[in-house]
Amino acid sequence: MSVIDEIKRRRTFAIISHPDAGKTTLTEKLLLYGGAIHLAGSVKARKTSRYAVSDWMEIEKQRGISVTSSVLNFDYEGCRVNILDTPGHADFSEDTYRTLMAVDSAVMVIDVAKGVETQTKKLFKVCSSRGIPIFTFVNKIDHFGKNPFDLMSDIEEVLGIRSCPMNWPIGINGNYVGIYDRETNTAFIFIKDNAHGTKKLQVVSGKLDDSSIMELLDEEVLESLKSDLELLDEAGDPFNMDKISAGKLTPMFFGSAMTNFGVEPFLKRFLKLAPPPTERKTLEGSISPDNSDFSGFIFKIQANMDPKHHDRIAFMRICSGIFEKGLSVLHRQSGKNIRLSQPQQFLATERVSIEEAYPGDIIGIFDTGELGVGDTVCTKKHPVTFSDFPVFPPELFARLSPMSSMKRKQFLRGVNQLAQEGAIQVYSQPYVMESFIIGAVGQLQFEVLRYRLEKEYNVDVRIESLPYTTARWTASNALPEDLVGTDNALVVYDAKKRPVYLLPNEWQAGWLVERNPNIEFLDTPPMIPVNLE
């Protein structure tokens, strides 16, 4: 198979949603139908003793939530599929937003009963700003929910994007028994079983006038379906691939990830419609995936995927050229040549060593601490630089210290590694050696930090809340003695040794700005210049 053919068969996408809309469950069922697993687990494991493959951390299994993005690779019907299952909880938005930098499309999961929710709106906005095509999966249609036409209106009014239903639920008032595929004019009636969604669902399919279908549907359901389809044909938006690629139209699918309603038809159609890898913007211009010069960027660092070895894996999106095991590349941020060793692909924590990979692929690289989130790696002959990732300003601050001074070595290693992941932001104070100031977007990040330090590094810690809600950097890295009015600020230093001013509220931050008119203040760290030599 040629390099062009390998690129064209790649599908790299994220699954996004508000918490509890069914994102991780849908991911699990795509793995089931894709043949990557043979028995699906449950996010909360109520009906079975299995857990979702993508929720690999112990805390994820206990709480039934995703706290970190998972990378899942498999082959299906000629496509090489790279799924990135992202956290839905707002406290872990930063991890999700970084992950969205690495995809070519996104699947937006919506709860049929709740419609478009708060976190969905935020994630949609990020996808829209980056021009990422969005596909919609309306989940939980085995439960009572909104009318499908109302959901279409909800998507348009809240998100500002029109929708084009690719299939339509069969049933009345939320009592759905299957879906109707509009392209093939085929009805899929699902036969319920007692497997609780752990196995592929039995399906009866056929045209509406087939005897096998007519005997499963009563006349009222048939008439309601025909009426809905006529209205869609007359007043609905027609399928338009150009509008989908431009983010102006979202293909809409209905189903239930928990019971496997509509999952396989969605997977088959989505892989046909989803875009293969496309060109990426760099500071030097755009680079095409078929460019022979290798390039890629790091979008995620994960420590302790193998807790026994305290490993550190850098996740890289390949953007151009062919990756080969042991490839020597230029690390753009440091200007150093490094060798990318032990390349792997994943099914959550299950790893497979690889010899080569192509644009669109997500691979893991063993890292000793040289790589960071947002870093570019490329050939030295034709260097490129991918733009910096967004950094979220922390809103909560606390003092973090070990319960026992005998555990200081483990404490320092754990805090350092988790900070490099981007799980928290860590600040130091001059002459304070026994504790750190930590910043987070949400309270749950502190709880996950405590849990991981305890379980992965065997360190019990004390987390004491601090009365600060706002952080300010300065463009010139101005020192405290250069400023006026820092009495109410706590001065700390970030990982790059830049001074950071923590303040009780936005009013105090504004007052500091007014008192120092010649200083440019920033609510995120200033950009670090890339080594362009």
CB 127 within 8 A of CB 37: no
CB 413 within 8 A of CB 303: no
Buried/exposed 130-141: b ≥16 CB within 10 Å, e otherwise: eebbbbbbbbbb
Alpha-carbon dihedral sign for residues 21, 24, 28, 33: positive
Q: How far is CA 408 from CA 68, 112, 457, 462, in A?
A: 26, 49, 11, 13
Question: What per-residue confidence (pLDDT) applies to 46?
Answer: 38
Chain position carrying tokens 């099914």? 347
Pairing between β-strand 312-320 and β-strand 295-303 as defined by DSSP bridges: antiparallel
Q: Answer whether residue 473 shows pLDDT above 90.
A: yes
Q: Read off the amino acid at residue 20.
A: D
505 DSSP 8-state letter: S
Question: What per-residue confidence (pLDDT) applies to 54?
Answer: 45
Question: What per-residue confidence (pLDDT) applies to 420?
Answer: 76
- 206 vs 184: CA distance, rounded Å: 10
CB 148 within 8 A of CB 163: no
Question: What per-residue confidence (pLDDT) applies to 344?
Answer: 84
- 160 vs 298: CA distance, rounded Å: 32
CA of residue 96 relative to chain centroid, distance: 4
Q: What is the mean pLDDT of residues 524-531?
A: 63
- 186 vs 166: CA distance, rounded Å: 12
When pLDDT is cut at 50, 70 and 90, the band that residue 194 belongs to is low
- 530 vs 533: CA distance, rounded Å: 9
Output helix, strand, coil percentages for the chain, rounded to the nearest 5.
25, 30, 45
When pLDDT is cut at 50, 70 and 90, the band that residue 310 belongs to is low
When pLDDT is cut at 50, 70 and 90, the band that residue 505 belongs to is very high
Tokens of 119: 């976190």
When pLDDT is cut at 50, 70 and 90, the band that residue 383 belongs to is very high
On the 0-12 / 13-18 / 19+ scale of CB atoms within 10 A, 73 is buried
pLDDT digit string, tens, across residues 280-294: 999 899 999 999 999
Work out the percent of the chain whose per-residue pLDDT is above 90: 44
Question: What per-residue confidence (pLDDT) applies to 200?
Answer: 62
User: Per residue, what are the HEC states of 245-262?
Assistant: HCCCEEEEEECECCCCEC
Question: What per-residue confidence (pLDDT) applies to 197?
Answer: 55
Q: Answer whether residue 368 shows pLDDT above 50.
A: yes
**DSSP SS3 for 347:** strand
Alpha-carbon dihedral sign for residues 246, 252, 255, 261: negative
Q: How far is CA 256 from CA 23, 26, 30, 112, in A?
A: 11, 8, 12, 9
Chain position carrying tokens 């996740």? 315
pLDDT digit string, tens, across residues 273-283: 999 999 999 98
CB 279 within 8 A of CB 288: yes
Q: What is the mean pLDDT of residues 96-111?
A: 89
CB 89 within 8 A of CB 19: yes
DSSP notation for 201-216? PEEEEE-TTSHHHHTT
Q: Answer whether residue 394 shows pLDDT above 60.
A: yes
User: Which of residues 44 and 254 earns the better pLDDT score?
Assistant: 254
When pLDDT is cut at 50, 70 and 90, the band that residue 142 belongs to is confident
Q: What is the mean pLDDT of residues 396-422?
A: 88
91 DSSP 8-state letter: G
| Closest to 33 in 3D by CA, of 268, 277, 253 | 268
Query: Does the predicted model carry a pTM greater than 0.85?
Result: no
Indicate the CATH number for domain 396-522: 3.30.70.3280
- 171 vs 346: CA distance, rounded Å: 39
Work out the percent of the chain whose per-residue pLDDT is above 70: 85
Q: What is the mean pLDDT of residues 246-273?
A: 92
Helices 408-421, 443-457: axis angle to 10 degrees equals 130
Partners of 202 in beta bridges? 191
When pLDDT is cut at 50, 70 and 90, the band that residue 201 belongs to is low
Query: Mean pLDDT of all residues in the chain?
Result: 84
When pLDDT is cut at 50, 70 and 90, the band that residue 85 belongs to is confident
Q: What is the mean pLDDT of residues 318-328?
A: 93
User: Which residues are annotated binding-site positions?
Assistant: 17-24, 85-89
Tokens of 210: 């087939």
- From 78-87, 207-216, 306-315, 508-517, the region with the lowest mean pLDDT: 306-315
Q: How far is CA 21 from CA 45, 110, 232, 258, 306, in A?
A: 16, 6, 26, 11, 29
Question: What per-residue confidence (pLDDT) applies to 523?
Answer: 84
| Closest to 398 in 3D by CA, of 310, 469, 453 | 469
Question: What per-residue confidence (pLDDT) applies to 55?
Answer: 43
What's the alpha-carbon Rg for the chain, to the nearest Å?
A: 25
CB 32 within 8 A of CB 24: no
Q: Answer whether residue 447 shows pLDDT above 90.
A: no
- 243 vs 531: CA distance, rounded Å: 39
Question: What per-residue confidence (pLDDT) applies to 195?
Answer: 59
Question: What per-residue confidence (pLDDT) applies to 56?
Answer: 40
Q: What is the mean pLDDT of residues 42-64?
A: 44
Domain ranges of the chain: 13-70+92-97+104-276, 281-378, 396-522
Q: Answer whether residue 42 shows pLDDT above 50.
A: no
Q: Answer whether residue 63 shows pLDDT above 80.
A: no
Question: What per-residue confidence (pLDDT) applies to 108?
Answer: 94
Question: What per-residue confidence (pLDDT) applies to 60?
Answer: 45
- From 86-90, 217-221, 267-271, the region with the lowest mean pLDDT: 86-90
CB 262 within 8 A of CB 255: yes
Q: Read off the amino acid at residue 52.
A: A
CB 421 within 8 A of CB 361: no
Question: What per-residue confidence (pLDDT) applies to 94?
Answer: 66
When pLDDT is cut at 50, 70 and 90, the band that residue 524 belongs to is confident
What superfamily does domain 13-70+92-97+104-276 belong to in CATH?
P-loop containing nucleotide triphosphate hydrolases (3.40.50.300)
Question: What per-residue confidence (pLDDT) applies to 65?
Answer: 43
User: Which residues are annotated binding-site positions for GTP?
Assistant: 17-24, 85-89
- 67 vs 90: CA distance, rounded Å: 10
When pLDDT is cut at 50, 70 and 90, the band that residue 57 belongs to is very low
428 DSSP 8-state letter: B
Question: What per-residue confidence (pLDDT) applies to 504?
Answer: 94
Q: Decide if domain 281-378 falls under CATH 2.60.40.2470.
A: no
Tokens of 14: 């994220």
Question: What per-residue confidence (pLDDT) applies to 307?
Answer: 61
Tokens of 366: 């063993």
Q: If residue 308 lies in a helix (H) or strand (E), which one and from where to where?
A: none
Degrees to nearest 5, angle at CA 183 with 182 and 188: 60
Helices 148-159, 118-129: axis angle to 10 degrees equals 60
